[in-house]
Structures are given as structure tokens and as C-alpha cells.
């Protein structure tokens, strides 16, 4: 066994010493079998949350009603979840109530996909009643038991199927795939927050192109925020190999390909509940992309857009034109670096200087003059020195 499992072994041992069972479960076990990077391990136990709290002095209650306790142990934190079945479901969301149980098998049975329903004990022994290992070997995503039941229990699992398809490049087992189409409509019961997490993982997956196509083919996209009207746009989206785009660029490319109206971009991104900072970045990229497809960068554009946006815009532009993703990027970088200033605050002149030079009271004229100076400096009509600016302004005034 390797880290981060190794450090967690004493924690499992301690739970066992108290007479309960404890196992590694879920994504971390799947990922170790896949040889993927593992951030943190999830632990499942037969002990109830109260029993876990009694064993460990330092715990955080993050959702006792769902059976999850965070245990602070050896300088790390671990999510420890009691074996459970999700007896009652409301509206295809996660259960309103869970039943704690003492059987590992019953716990694994209510999990989404066979590859996610493998447990590993502290000696590295796998408990795999639903043949998850085989699914991993055969590269298939298959629900544990009936797809209909798993998807009705928690409809987000359909999005998860497509996002694992994107991340892992696995196939989707036939009946699981058919259920995606049949039960797609259940996704409307799921919160935007949960959809967003899966959608962004999907957009970052290496098989994203086919995953987007699958969202389309299954009709799942219809139940994603703001996406329903854009069937045709979505088909444009998966024509391109977007492997080199980062998440903000993916959003910008999506908006561009869906041809979302200028006036609706903001509400589209808000409907997805993206953070404001991200929305701003995406909107900037879309704005400049629309300009860029009509004309080349000018000095003014480079200055106004800023390097980060230039880079993102140009990458998407290259993608749209079947050019190597970094084509001209170095060149633009150099052009940007060569700008005499990068922002107005770098101008070597202040409002006070202007008042002094022109012996006039404060007013809108100051802003106008500063803008003129800014443009002149960027275009190298005057150098960015206080005295040069003064002489240039006075000369302008006389003409
Ligand atoms: N809707 C869900 C969400 C999770 N799970 C179960 O809970 C585990 C942990 O869930 P989560 O961390 O959300 O997903 P991971 O599979 O661990 O994927 P990731 O690596 O992206 O965290 C899953 O493996 C799966 O067994 C489930 O059955 N149904
Ligand atoms: Mg996980």
C-alpha cells in the first residue's frame, strides 16, 4: 500500500480495536486500481457517528444525519462514514433520511457504479461483491444492480456517469447507457451546485469531446442550467479538440459555440451559479473572441484586454481555425510586453499636474486629458515622462 492509505492504517486499526469494521471505499480505491493520483481517502465503518466521536478525541460534525464525521488524526483529516442504506428518497435527490446498518455489503450495494463499490481493508485485501475490479479492467461504467434504481435514488449519478466517461475514457455498459436516456428527466430535481461540480469535472476530462456528445445524445443537456435551447450549438462544441483549454476557456468556448446572445451571457453563467470572479473572466474572453474573429489585435486591443485574456482568446481563436493551439502566442506576448505601459496608473502624470499646468479647477476635463495622454503614450506619440507629457499637452493645446 502507498500513501495516503498508509497514514490512515492506524485509524482503521483503532476503529477495529474497538470492535467495529472499517474500510477504505469509493473513489480512492477505484483510483488506486486505475493507477491514478489520490488526494484523500474515504473510510466506511460499521460504527455509528456517535461511536466514532467516542473513539476519537478530535472530530468535526459535517453531516451526522448522513453518517459522516471528519476525524482529525495524525495531522490529517479523514471523512469517516457509517455504513448506510438510503431508504427513503425524495424527488430523486439524496435521501431525506438514511438508515445506519452494520453490513459492508449492504453499504456497497447502494453505491452508484461497480467501480465505485469496492472496499479495501487495512491489509490491502479487496472486498468486491459487484465485480468492480473487472469493470475497471474492462473499462466499463456500470451501475450496481438496476440502473433505474440507482438513478432514481440520486439522479445526479447520471451526470456522474458522463463525467467518469470524460475523465476515464471508459465505455458505458448498455443498460446503464439506455437508462441515461430513459431517466434523463430526473436530473431536473438536482441542485445546480451539484450539477456544476460534475459538469466542470466533465469539461476538464480528457475525453470531454465525446462526453459532450453523450450529454447531447442522451438528452441530459436539456436538464442542465440554460442549456435546453442549444441543441445545435452543442453539436458545434464537440467538433473541436479542446484538450488544451483551461476551465474558463472551456466556458467561453461553450458560450461562443452555443451562440448565446450578448444580453444573455451573464444570466447563463449566473444560472450555473459560477462565482462572480470566474464569470468576469469568461465574459472578457468571449468579448475579445468576438472581436478577434473579425479582426487582428491592435495596440489598443492588446492594452485593453491584458495578457491573460489575450492568451485565452488567441488559444480559442487558433482552435476555431485549426491552428496549433499556441500559434502566435509568443509573438503576442512580446507585443504586449513592448507596450510602454500596461495600465493607466503607470502614467507619469496626475490630475494635480494637469491642474497646475493649465491653471484650471477640477472637472471632467482632467479625465479626458488623461485618456488622451494614455492613448498617446501607448501609441508612442509621447514618452511616459512627466515633462514630455507636459510639453506634448501644451503643444496640443496650441493647435
Ligand atoms: N451520487 C453518488 C455520489 C457518491 N457515491 C459513492 O460515494 C463515493 C464517493 O463519492 P465522491 O467523492 O463524490 O466521488 P468519487 O467517486 O470519489 O469521485 P472523485 O474522485 O471525483 O471524488 C463514490 O465513489 C460512490 O461509491 C454514490 O454512490 N452516489
Ligand atoms: Mg471522492
Quick one: average pLDDT of 373-383? 97
Q: Which of 78, 58, 57, 55 is nearest to 68 (CA)?
A: 78
Burial of 394 (0-12, 13-18, 19+ CB in 10 A): exposed
| Confidence tier at 91 by pLDDT (50, 70, 90) | low
Find out whether 163 is annotated in a ligand binding site: yes
C-alpha 354: how far from chain center: 48
The per-residue pLDDT for range 4-57, each reduced to its tens digit, is: 999 999 999 999 999 999 999 999 999 999 999 998 899 999 999 999 999 999
CATH classification of 232-339, choosing from 3.40.50.300, 1.20.58.560, 3.60.20.10, 3.40.50.10130?
1.20.58.560
Nearest CA to ligand 1 atom 8: 26
Q: Taking 90 as the threshold, does the pLDDT of residue 180 lie above it?
A: yes
The per-residue pLDDT for range 153-173, each reduced to its tens digit, is: 999 999 999 999 999 999 999
Average pLDDT over all residues of the chain: 95
- % of the chain residues with pLDDT over 90: 92
Quick one: average pLDDT of 266-281? 98
Task: Identify which ligand lies nearest to the alpha carbon of 34.
Answer: 1
CA 27 to CA 3: how far, in whole Å?
A: 15
Angle at 351 between CA 376 and CA 374, to 5 degrees: 15
Contacts of range 230-238, beta carbons closer than 8 Å, 24 or more positions apart: 230/258, 230/259, 230/260, 233/257, 233/258, 233/259, 233/260, 234/258, 237/212, 238/209, 238/210, 238/212, 238/213
Find out whether 331 is annotated in a ligand binding site: no
Question: Residue 229: what pLDDT?
Answer: 97
CA 4 to CA 38: how far, in whole Å?
A: 7
CATH code for the part of the protein at 139-224: 1.10.110.30
Quick one: average pLDDT of 256-279? 97
Pocket test for ligand 1, best of 82, 111, 191 (most atoms within 8 A of CB): 111
pTM of the predicted model, to two decimals? 0.93
The per-residue pLDDT for range 287-342, each reduced to its tens digit, is: 999 999 999 999 999 999 999 999 999 999 999 999 999 999 999 999 999 999 99
The per-residue pLDDT for range 103-135, each reduced to its tens digit, is: 999 999 999 999 999 999 999 999 999 999 999
CB 369 less than 6 A from any atom of ligand 1: no
Give the Å distance between the CA of 26 and the centre of ligand 1: 6
| Confidence tier at 204 by pLDDT (50, 70, 90) | very high
CB 225 less than 6 A from any atom of ligand 1: no
The per-residue pLDDT for range 60-75, each reduced to its tens digit, is: 999 888 899 999 999 9
Task: For residue 143, list its beta bridge partners.
Answer: 113
Instruction: Report the nearest atom of ligand 1 relative to the CA of 108.
Output: 26
Nearest CA to ligand 1 atom 14: 27
Q: Taking 70 as the threshold, does the pLDDT of residue 399 lie above it?
A: no
Pocket test for ligand 1, best of 39, 105, 116 (most atoms within 8 A of CB): 116
Domain extent listing, the chain: 1-138, 139-224, 232-339, 344-398
CB 198 less than 6 A from any atom of ligand 1: no
CA 126 to CA 221: how far, in whole Å?
A: 36
- CATH superfamily for 1-138 is Beta Polymerase, domain 2 (3.30.460.10)
CB 112 less than 6 A from any atom of ligand 1: yes
Does domain 344-398 bear CATH number 3.30.365.10?
A: no
| Confidence tier at 95 by pLDDT (50, 70, 90) | low
Amino acid at each position: 500500500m502507498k500513501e495516503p492509505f498508509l497514514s490512515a492504517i492506524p485509524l482503521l486499526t483503532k476503529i477495529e480495536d474497538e470492535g467495529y469494521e472499517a474500510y477504505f471505499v469509493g473513489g480512492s480505491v477505484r483510483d488506486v486500481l486505475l493507477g491514478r493520483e489520490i488526494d484523500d481517502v474515504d473510510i466506511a465503518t460499521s460504527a455509528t457517528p456517535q461511536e466514532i466521536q467516542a473513539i476519537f478525541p478530535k472530530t468535526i460534525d459535517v453531516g451526522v444525519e448522513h453518517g459522516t464525521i471528519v476525524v482529525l488524526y495524525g495531522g490529517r483529516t479523514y471523512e469517516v462514514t457509517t455504513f448506510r442504506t438510503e431508504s427513503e428518497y425524495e424527488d430523486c435527490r439524496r435521501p431525506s433520511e438514511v438508515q445506519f446498518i452494520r453490513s459492508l455489503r449492504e453499504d456497497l450495494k447502494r453505491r452508484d457504479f461497480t467501480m465505485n463499490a469496492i472496499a479495501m481493508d487495512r491489509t490491502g485485501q479487496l472486498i468486491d461483491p459487484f465485480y468492480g475490479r473487472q469493470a475497471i479492467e474492462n473499462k466499463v461504467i456500470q451501475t450496481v444492480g438496476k440502473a433505474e434504481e440507482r438513478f432514481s435514488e440520486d439522479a445526479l449519478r447520471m451526470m456522474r456517469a458522463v463525467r467518469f466517461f470524460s475523465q476515464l475514457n471508459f465505455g458505458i455498459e448498455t443498460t446503464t447507457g439506455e437508462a441515461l436516456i430513459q431517466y434523463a428527466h430526473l436530473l431536473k430535481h438536482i441542485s445546480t451546485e451539484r450539477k456544476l461540480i460534475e459538469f466542470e469535472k466533465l469539461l476538464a476530462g480528457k475525453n470531454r469531446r465525446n462526453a459532450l456528445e453523450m450529454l447531447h445524445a442522451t438528452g441530459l443537456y436539456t436538464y442542465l442550467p440554460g442549456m435546453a435551447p442549444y441543441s445545435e450549438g452543442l453539436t458545434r462544441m464537440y467538433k473541436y479538440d479542446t484538450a488544451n483549454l483551461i476551465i474558463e476557456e472551456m466556458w467561453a468556448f461553450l458560450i461562443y459555440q452555443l451562440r448565446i446572445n450578448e444580453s444573455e451571457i451573464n444570466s447563463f453563467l449566473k444560472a450555473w451559479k459560477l462565482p462572480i470572479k470566474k464569470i468576469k473572466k469568461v465574459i472578457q474572453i468571449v468579448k475579445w473572441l468576438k472581436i478577434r474573429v473579425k479582426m487582428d489585435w491592435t495596440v489598443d486591443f492588446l492594452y485593453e484586454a491584458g495578457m491573460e485574456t489575450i492568451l485565452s482568446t488567441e488559444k480559442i481563436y487558433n482552435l476555431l481555425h485549426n491552428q496549433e493551439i499556441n500559434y502566435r502566442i509568443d509573438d503576442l506576448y512580446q507585443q504586449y510586453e513592448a507596450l510602454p505601459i500596461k495600465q493607466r496608473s503607470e502614467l507619469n502624470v496626475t490630475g494635480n499636474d494637469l491642474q497646475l499646468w493649465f491653471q484650471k479647477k477640477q472637472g471632467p476635463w482632467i479625465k479626458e486629458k488623461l485618456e488622451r495622454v494614455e492613448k498617446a503614450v501607448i501609441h508612442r506619440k509621447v514618452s511616459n515622462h512627466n515633462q514630455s507629457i507636459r510639453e506634448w499637452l501644451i503643444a496640443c493645446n496650441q493647435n
